[in-house]
């Protein structure tokens, strides 16, 4: 049979691509479509600060652009930026981190890709909280890893414990544990002692501990702590997107155990070449813009207070603890047992975009909705008005 007559193989997407959609981004797309029709939509669906990057970051970027020479950097990122981050750890947490252990990444998303690829092999089981950030689950599945979602609740203040990890180990070997504190979608934060206990348990069990610290700086109650205070073996993921208001700059960083530095660098060389030079320059300057950023944070605190008082008056009677970040995770079962339908109606009828809990919790999420309060105070007030009018109807 000639090549021309041979039956053609049907082309199709890979099995690894069959991950669930990131519903928050789907809602954002739906909101954008309504805005294109002339609708005014209040955005409470994505964790995106309404404020721009700090003046220090913008000034540094303008100077770099005037110079005109932007190019590749080391795969790990610019040495001066890594040195500045080492100073950040010393000043913020009292922890000494050698700059060689720090890697700049194309947002925290690239950091998670690199951590998963450098630390795990296909088929490895990694423990996550449920509710939790859906991209963890989706990235792990796309890479041939096995997310083990452990339900957390009020009894553990919506956090993982060594006992819960031990239960997961009874079902099979656990190679990694991933924890965010403050967490997304709940906003809850582990106490320093609870975090240290968890990290040390993982060290004792030979389990990689990945600490998502991208909401550090955005804490309203309690005290934030980096997992590095408990172990130099922890893998730290952080970002300039949240506290530093630099989502679109796509710049984050990792702090790696020494044994993972070179393996992660080798992978990054081929996947990303290097993080954007301009973003690195702006990010280093952003670390010196905290006075301005603290003012932005004060605005989040006002929004948090407004919603914690206003949502219960509308019937949202069960809200999870909001220690940090800029989310309120609300039990919406009094209104609907289908968070997808509830948030769709909220968007189209009330003009308020929020994220269904089904994004964050595959078993209980139908009864929850996440509201982001990263927007302006005026928008938060207007959202309460529009939600109140809609719920009355």
- For residue 3, the model assigns a pLDDT of 64
Residue 8 scores a pLDDT above 80: no
What average pLDDT does this structure show over 298-319? 96
Check: CB of residue 154 under 8 Å from CB of residue 321.
no
From residue 185, alpha-carbon distances to 268, 341, 388 in Å are 29, 19, 23
Residue bearing the bigger pLDDT, 277 or 20: 277
From residue 46, alpha-carbon distances to 133, 230, 316 in Å are 12, 32, 20
pLDDT over 90 for what percent of the chain?
A: 91
Taking the C-alpha atoms of residue 329 and residue 319, their distance in angstroms, rounded to an integer, is: 6
Check: CB of residue 281 under 8 Å from CB of residue 65.
no
Element holding 255 (H helix, E strand): strand 252-255
Taking the C-alpha atoms of residue 10 and residue 33, their distance in angstroms, rounded to an integer, is: 33
> No. of H helices and E strands in the chain?
12, 12
pLDDT, one tens digit per residue, over 189-248 is 999 999 999 999 999 999 999 999 999 999 999 999 999 999 999 999 999 999 999 999
CB atoms within 10 A of CB 341: 12
Residue 186 scores a pLDDT above 80: yes
Reported confidence tier of residue 275, pLDDT bands at 50, 70, 90:
very high
Reported confidence tier of residue 149, pLDDT bands at 50, 70, 90:
very high
- For residue 7, the model assigns a pLDDT of 73
Kindly report the average pLDDT of the chain as a whole number.
95
Check: CB of residue 113 under 8 Å from CB of residue 237.
no
- Which one, of 113, 107, 110, 112, lies nearest residue 280 by Cα? 107
pLDDT, one tens digit per residue, over 96-143 is 999 999 999 999 999 999 999 999 999 999 999 999 999 999 999 999
Residue 302 scores a pLDDT above 90: yes
Buried b (16+ CB within 10 A) or exposed e, 8-17: eeeeeeeeee
Residue 307 scores a pLDDT above 70: yes
Can you give the three-state secondary structure of 136-202, one letter per residue?
A: HHHHHHHCCCEEEEEECCHHHCCCCCHHHHHHHHHCCCCCEEEEECCCCCCCCCCCHHHHHHHHHHH
Q: Helix, strand or coil for residue 245?
A: coil
What average pLDDT does this structure show over 299-311? 97
> Model-level pTM?
0.94
- For residue 2, the model assigns a pLDDT of 57
- For residue 136, the model assigns a pLDDT of 95
């Amino acid at each position: 049979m000639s090549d021309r007559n041979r039956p053609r193989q049907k082309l199709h997407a890979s099995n690894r691509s069959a991950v669930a959609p990131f519903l928050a981004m789907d809602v954002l797309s739906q909101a954008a479509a309504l805005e294109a029709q002339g609708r005014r939509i209040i955005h409470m669906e994505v964790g995106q600060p309404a404020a721009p990057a700090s003046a220090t970051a913008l000034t540094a970027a303008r100077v770099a652009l005037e110079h005109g020479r932007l190019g590749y950097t080391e795969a790990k990122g610019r040495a001066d930026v890594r040195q500045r981050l080492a100073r950040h750890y010393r000043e913020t947490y009292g922890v000494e981190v050698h700059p060689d252990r720090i890697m700049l990444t194309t947002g925290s998303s690239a950091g998670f890709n690199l951590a998963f690829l450098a630390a795990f092999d296909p088929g490895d089981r990694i423990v996550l909280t449920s509710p939790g950030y859906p991209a963890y689950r989706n990235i792990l599945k796309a890479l041939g890893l096995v997310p083990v979602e452990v339900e957390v609740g009020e009894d553990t203040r919506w956090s993982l414990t060594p006992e819960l990890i031990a239960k997961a180990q009874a079902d099979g070997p656990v190679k990694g544990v991933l924890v965010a504190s403050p967490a997304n979608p709940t906003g809850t934060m582990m106490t320093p002692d609870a975090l240290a206990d968890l990290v040390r348990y993982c060290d004792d069990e030979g389990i990689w501990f990945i600490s998502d610290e991208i909401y550090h700086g955005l804490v309203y109650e309690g005290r934030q702590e980096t997992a590095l205070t408990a172990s130099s073996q922890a893998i730290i993921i952080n970002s300039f997107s949240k506290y530093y208001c630099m989502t679109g700059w796509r710049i984050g960083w990792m702090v790696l155990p020494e044994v993972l530095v070179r393996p992660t660098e080798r992978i990054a060389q081929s996947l990303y070449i290097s993080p954007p030079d301009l973003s690195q320059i702006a990010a280093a300057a952003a670390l010196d813009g905290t006075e301005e950023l603290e003012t932005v944070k004060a605005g989040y605190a006002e929004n948090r207070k407004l919603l914690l008082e206003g949502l219960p008056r509308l019937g949202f009677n069960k809200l999870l603890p909001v220690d940090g970040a800029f989310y309120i995770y609300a039990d919406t079962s009094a209104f609907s047992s289908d968070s997808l339908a509830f948030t769709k109606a909220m968007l189209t009828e009330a003009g308020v975009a929020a994220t269904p809990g089904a994004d964050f919790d595959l078993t209980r999420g139908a009864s929850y909705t996440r509201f982001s309060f990263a927007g302006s105070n005026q928008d938060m007030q207007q959202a309460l008005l529009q939600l109140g009018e809609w719920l009355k109807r």
